[in-house]
Copies of this chain bind each other. A is one copy, B any other.
Amino acid sequence: MPELRKDPVIGRWVIIATERGKRSTDFHCTEPEITVNSGHCPFCGGNEAKTPHEILCLREPGTAPDSPGWWVRTIPNKFPALMIEGDLDRQGEGIYDRMNGVGAHEVIIETPEHHKNLADLEPHHIEKVLYCYRERMIDLRKDPRFKFILVFRNHRSSAGASLDHPHSQLIATPIVPKRVKEELRGALNYYNFKERCVLCDIVHQELRDKERIVVENGHFLTFTPYASRFPYEICIIPKRHKACYEAITNDEMGALAQIVKSSLVRLKKLLNDPPYNYIIHTTPFSLPKDLRDYHWHIEIIPRITYVAGFEWGTGFYINSVIPEEAARDLREIEV
């Protein structure tokens, strides 16, 4: 069972993944491994038997579960960071605090094709991926042990991907993570002061200023944040207030698929298929779905610079590309 341990100074929880226990020689400095499709990729179409049983799958009518014929397939992670069984069993160890690593860890395989990436898929296919995110959130919300779900995507090994077959991941956590609490607290402070959602205010200012806009459609806006930490960092946000991703309508999902595609293609073309992380920021389960002070969004961080001692020590970042110039470069890409 993995263990959650809390840093006694800063209050940050860490997952000690005892089951995946590694040895010091596993970390000897070598080049990052490039995984290639050797025909044995467990996420490829035809290899369904190599994975745990599917939880949610969009597949051609008449095809059987765990067999070919699918478009998007959600499965439990075979090497989960958190385990689905058991109770938290919170305990002290002297001044320290721990609990069991209970949670859900699932993989959304985005296509049976190994070499098609999310940026290469058609919007109607991306829509199926976005649909799986929503349906799994709605389902996992029913488990009272879970407080929050993070949907994320690591593209390429230097962004943390261990398999190069296109996939997203979802982790349901038994506590609201530190980063999420900070964001909610910041948004609430703003709301208390202004009586407006800070992210709605950002949308309005970006639409007015225009210089940080990358692309937009009827429902969504992609822009480079004013205080971007990383070169070419982007944010995709609904234009109208909506607190949680789960409340997305089918109509909006079509528009989101379109802008995700356009945004990823721009990053891919401009930066030569960079490693990136994408993260859906949404509300914890304990908050009302129509919360007025928070607004869900997707953050995409190209991983093309190194995080160094200054960033670790201060939480500040040094960004060598002006966000307005990053937006212009991305806007000018032909899609």
Contact surface of A with B, Cβ cutoff 8 Å: 5-18, 20-22, 24, 27-29, 31, 81, 93-96, 150, 152-154, 157-161, 169, 171, 173, 177-180, 182-183, 186-187, 190, 198-199, 201-202, 205, 208-209, 225-229, 231-232, 270-275, 277-281, 299, 301-302, 304-323, 325, 329
Contacts of A313 in B (CB 8 A): 150, 152, 177, 179-180, 277, 279-281, 299
Q: Is B186 a contact of A320 with CB atoms below 8 Å?
A: no
A281 to chain B, nearest CB (A): 7
For the complex, what is the distance from the CA of A277 to the CA of B318, rounded to whole Å?
16
For the complex, what is the distance from the CA of A161 to the CA of B29, rounded to whole Å?
16
A306-B7 contact given A96-B205, A270-B24, CB 8 Å threshold: no
Which of B29, B281, B308 contacts A152, CB < 8 Å? Answer: B308
Other than the given A9-B190, A9-B202, 20 more pairs (CB < 8 A) read: A8-B186, A9-B187, A11-B186, A12-B316, A14-B317, A16-B323, A17-B319, A24-B232, A27-B232, A27-B274, A81-B318, A95-B198, A95-B205, A152-B309, A152-B310, A161-B308, A171-B314, A177-B315, A178-B314, A277-B313
- Give the copy number: 2
A214 to chain B, nearest CB (A): 13
A95-B27 contact given A21-B321, A308-B152, A315-B177, CB 8 Å threshold: no
A227-B13 contact given A29-B304, A169-B309, CB 8 Å threshold: yes
A10-B186 contact given A160-B309, A205-B94, CB 8 Å threshold: yes
Which of B17, B182, B205, B322 contacts A318, CB < 8 Å? Answer: B17
For the complex, what is the distance from the CA of A20 to the CA of B22, rounded to whole Å?
39
Q: Is A178 a contact of B274 with CB atoms below 8 Å?
A: no
Q: Is B320 a contact of A275 with CB atoms below 8 Å?
A: no
Listed A/B pairs (13) with beta-carbon separation below 8 Å: A5-B226, A16-B319, A16-B322, A29-B274, A94-B208, A96-B227, A152-B312, A158-B306, A159-B306, A160-B311, A178-B315, A179-B312, A179-B314
A201 to chain B, nearest CB (A): 5
For the complex, what is the distance from the CA of A279 to the CA of B311, rounded to whole Å?
10
- The chain B residue with its CB closest to the CB of A177 is B314
